[in-house]
Structure 1
Amino acid sequence: MVSEHKPRVLVIAEAANPRLTSVALIGYSLTNALREVADVQLATELRNRDSILEAGFPADQLIPVDNRKMQGLAFKVAKFLRGGESLGWTIYSAFYNVAYPVFERKLWHMLESRLKSGEFDLVHRVTPLSPTNASPIAKRLKQIGVPFIIGPLNGGVPWPAGFDAIRRQEKEWLSYVRGAYKFTPGLQQTRDRASALILASGHTYGEVVTTDARREKAIYIPENAIDPARFPMPQPKAPSKMLKLAFVGRLVPYKGAVTLLEAALPLLKSRRAQLDIIGDGAEMGRLKELVAQHQLESCVSLPGWIAHEKLHERLCASDVFAFPSVREFGGGVVLEAMALGLAPVIADYAGPTELLPDDCGWRVKFESADQLRAGFTEVLTQLADQPEEVRAAGDRACQFVRANFTWPAKARQIRAVYDWTLQSAHKPQFAFAFNPEHRA
């Protein structure tokens, strides 16, 4: 039984910006959706204020916290060590762990009297999404009796065996000792003091839920969702003799754009398929070389990045979303493609495989790069002869995402967690394709 009373919630989302992507977009989109089911105040970094207000978020529900000096210093040091902004994300996370507690301490000093007066029914930390960040505010909230919810948490998926060379190309040196994060001061106490833990992947669930007490307050909810306004219902597609494939992502080794092009070569050379690779990065040169070498200019497109608000138009022209990425935490781009009726073909590992119901697409098992490439060749060749099966899987994928993975649906799921935490409802159950609580 869900309470009709809207809970008064302080949402902490240090990263929340409608103009950005990834974590910042999740932080903003989820918080904005929660306004329909809760009385929300958003505490976020000052740098996000203008973008949030321009998007129509009410100024009286926004609490900017200025931690730009500390966060900027951490970013500059991490950027120097990483040699840029696109590689070595474990290094950035390590320095972010140092900067973030300063943000929360400033927030506590700003809101201490309001929290102690009972203005909020609970506090919900939405971002950072990483499970490696301690929350100093957890102890203070516990002392004054205000429930504290953390999540969705996701990250740290291990590199699959056989991909160590790619791991080094990504400058993921710190990932070899990532387990040291468990000794971060205050981290284990943060988890123990939380009233609910929203965990967004099977890997993170296994890392965080190490005691019976944590299991009782843990719930699995993936972090990603789609905005129905940006990804409207697709129009029926005209039958085509060619299998139309799409890929979206950074053109770096672990995302697998080159693997996909090589896997699709037999179909592309025989003009039984078209391939649209959307994105940019270090592997663009290699992709162009392969296209020229095999004279595929008429059936392979390399447009670079496309504005997020225009992405749906481009994707709607394809039938299959082919994504051989070997290390995705969440896989939001897979949900976006599914919402537009594309049937996914994905590497059977980490985030995307947890989002995909068995009848909505195809998973490719692998233990090496060669096996992954061969597996994609086999599946794509099979699908080229089964256009009706591809279309049916895409239709089912679209229906599944629109029922469970829109931001309004996500807000309703989180509201159910609020009611459970406030003891006005039982622990909720959701119809996801995967649930770590049900694993043998």
Structure 2
Amino acid sequence: MARPRVLAIAEAANPEWVSVPLVGWSLASALRSVADVHIVTQIRNREAFLRAGLIEGQDFTAIDSEAFARPMWHLAERLRMGEGKGWTVVQAINAISYPHFERLVWKTFGAAIRRGAYDIVHRITPLSPTISSSLAGKCAQAGVPFVLGPLNGGVPWPKGFDAERRAEKEWLSYTRSAYKLLPGRRATLRQAAAILAGSHHTATEIPTEHEGKTLYIPENGIDPARFNRIAAPDGTLRGAFVGRLVPYKGPDMLIEAAAPLLREGRLRLDIIGDGPMRPQLEQLARGLPGITFHGWQAHEAVQDILSQCHLLPFPSIREFGGGVVLEAMALGVVPLIVDYAGPGELVQDGWGLKVPCGTREEITGHFARTLRALADDPSGLPAMAQAARARVASHFLWSRKAEQVAQVYDWVLNGKPGHGPQFFD
């Protein structure tokens, strides 16, 4: 059977960055093993693509939408009121600026799509389900299946965390659900041949009439070339928090929960990352032995630290994907997370530990009790670590995700709506 010819739209795709651009790059690149893929990205990613060995014009095309994208990006930076904050505001501005990129994509590739040069057009990024696509309708008119996703985001703030919500400048999140009323969204979902939902929450936001073509495939994956160590901790129970030091990720809750064990010398804690909370956290940790603030670290250095740890204690209360959880699992580091949103979907009994989502006090208490139980009896951790690595190998390598998406391609090309492959029961 011939490999499908795929035009992969990944406006955000960069092997040298993290978060959404790394997801876009990783999935688009992995799909080259199962299909003949030409990647379309934004001009800001061009040099990184070239450094990665891709050939411009043959493997990828960089679209220059900077005339509109750059001033809109600067506007978003001003409106978000702080570095790393106001994510909903950034997505709202992106929803205004992104359509220009798709217009340029159609101007460049529309004729080729109409004449059948591609079997499928797959929009990988943006991940946000709030951003519609004009390409979906144009591809439908041309008779070329349009695949959308993975889509993810918009996880509601848990009750009791309004202070954290305000600290993150997420004032626009109170009205986020209004995007469902936009006509472009309805048309995009109707015209897509398949919709990939990156989380269960996002799947619930897809109208019921599209359930037959909506498939759950978590957005994050692991590149074994990037995460290739095996954790070998010894001695005192050791955990590492990895992430931006911002309110919703809960590093302050972790320090409070860990404080008694740190004072007793029964726990060591590494804080990897930087952000606006760092001065506050260092003040909170003053006088506590066994806690180290490493600041921002390159991923190789993160592996060096994580691979000496038993645990990834990660009390984030609003994590869309939870990529850091998979990275820890890939190393054989057991995740300890809040059972909510992305991490709650990735972690199950046997390869990780979950505490219920509740108030700040409840989460802190659950973490404190779980950490103490592990300090008293860590004997179950090695088996969980092994199971975590096995789970990543069987479900979350990018090569595995490419195989899953290849099934979706086969499904839409063979015209079997409502009978698609089901992933991650």
TM over 0.5: yes
| Alpha-carbon distance, 1:96 to partner | 0.2
TM-score by structure 2 length? 0.97
Match 2:173 to one of 166, 172, 175: 175
Match 1:38 to one of 30, 35, 47: 35
For the residue of structure 2 that corresponds to 1:388, the secondary structure is: coil
Contact 1:366–1:375 (CA<8 Å) still a contact in 2?
no
The CA distance in 1 between the partners of 2:148 and 2:288, in whole Å, is 51
2:63 is matched with 65
Give the residue type in structure 2 aligned to 1:225.
Answer: G
Match 1:56 to one of 53, 74, 80: 53
1:93 is matched with 91
The CA distance in 2 between the partners of 1:424 and 1:305, in whole Å, is 48
Deviates more, 1:277-286 or 1:322-331: 277-286
Shift of the 424–317 alpha-carbon distance from structure 1 to 2, 3 Å rule, reads farther
For the residue of structure 2 that corresponds to 1:244, the secondary structure is: strand
Deviation string 1:271-315 (CA, Å, 9 cap, x unpaired) is: 1110001001111112211222x342xx11101011023322211
Contact 2:130–2:180 (CA<8 Å) still a contact in 1?
yes
Contact 1:230–1:312 (CA<8 Å) still a contact in 2?
no
2:304 is matched with 313
Quote the sequence identity (%). Answer: 48
2:197 aligned with 1:192: no
2:346 aligned with 1:350: no
Deviation string 1:306-359 (CA, Å, 9 cap, x unpaired) is: 102332221100001100000000000000001000111101110001011221
The CA distance in 2 between the partners of 1:345 and 1:90, in whole Å, is 27
Give the residue type in structure 1 aligned to 2:329.
Answer: M
1:21 is matched with 18
For the residue of structure 2 that corresponds to 1:24, the secondary structure is: helix
1:322 is matched with 313
The CA distance in 1 between the partners of 2:300 and 2:192, in whole Å, is 36
Match 2:218 to one of 218, 222, 225: 222
Matches within 5 A, 1:66-145: 66-145=64-143
The CA distance in 1 between the partners of 2:3 and 2:166, in whole Å, is 48
The CA distance in 1 between the partners of 2:405 and 2:373, in whole Å, is 40
| Alpha-carbon distance, 1:238 to partner | 5.5
Shift of the 424–81 alpha-carbon distance from structure 1 to 2, 3 Å rule, reads closer
Match 1:247 to one of 241, 244, 262: 241
For the residue of structure 2 that corresponds to 1:188, the secondary structure is: helix
Contact 2:8–2:37 (CA<8 Å) still a contact in 1?
yes
Contact 2:72–2:97 (CA<8 Å) still a contact in 1?
yes
Query: Unaligned stretches of 5+ in structure 2?
Result: none
1:278 is matched with 272
Contact 2:152–2:199 (CA<8 Å) still a contact in 1?
yes
Match 1:232 to one of 204, 225, 228: 228
Query: Unaligned stretches of 5+ in structure 1?
Result: 436-440
Match 1:429 to one of 406, 422, 425: 422
Deviation string 1:4-25 (CA, Å, 9 cap, x unpaired) is: 4210000000001111110001
Give the residue type in structure 2 aligned to 1:277.
Answer: I
Give the residue type in structure 2 aligned to 1:206.
Answer: T
1:438 is matched with none
Deviation string 1:246-266 (CA, Å, 9 cap, x unpaired) is: 110010111111110110111
Give the aligned CA root-mean-square deviation in angstroms.
1.3
Match 2:281 to one of 287, 292, 317: 287
The CA distance in 2 between the partners of 1:206 and 1:429, in whole Å, is 15
The CA distance in 2 between the partners of 1:140 and 1:151, in whole Å, is 17
| Alpha-carbon distance, 1:189 to partner | 0.5
Give the residue type in structure 2 aligned to 1:429.
Answer: Q
Shift of the 159–386 alpha-carbon distance from structure 1 to 2, 3 Å rule, reads same
Give the residue type in structure 2 aligned to 1:13.
Answer: A
| Alpha-carbon distance, 1:84 to partner | 3.0
Shift of the 238–80 alpha-carbon distance from structure 1 to 2, 3 Å rule, reads closer
| Alpha-carbon distance, 1:183 to partner | 2.5
Contact 1:12–1:124 (CA<8 Å) still a contact in 2?
yes
Contact 1:11–1:42 (CA<8 Å) still a contact in 2?
yes
1:259 is matched with 253
Give the residue type in structure 1 aligned to 2:332.
Answer: G
TM-score by structure 1 length? 0.94
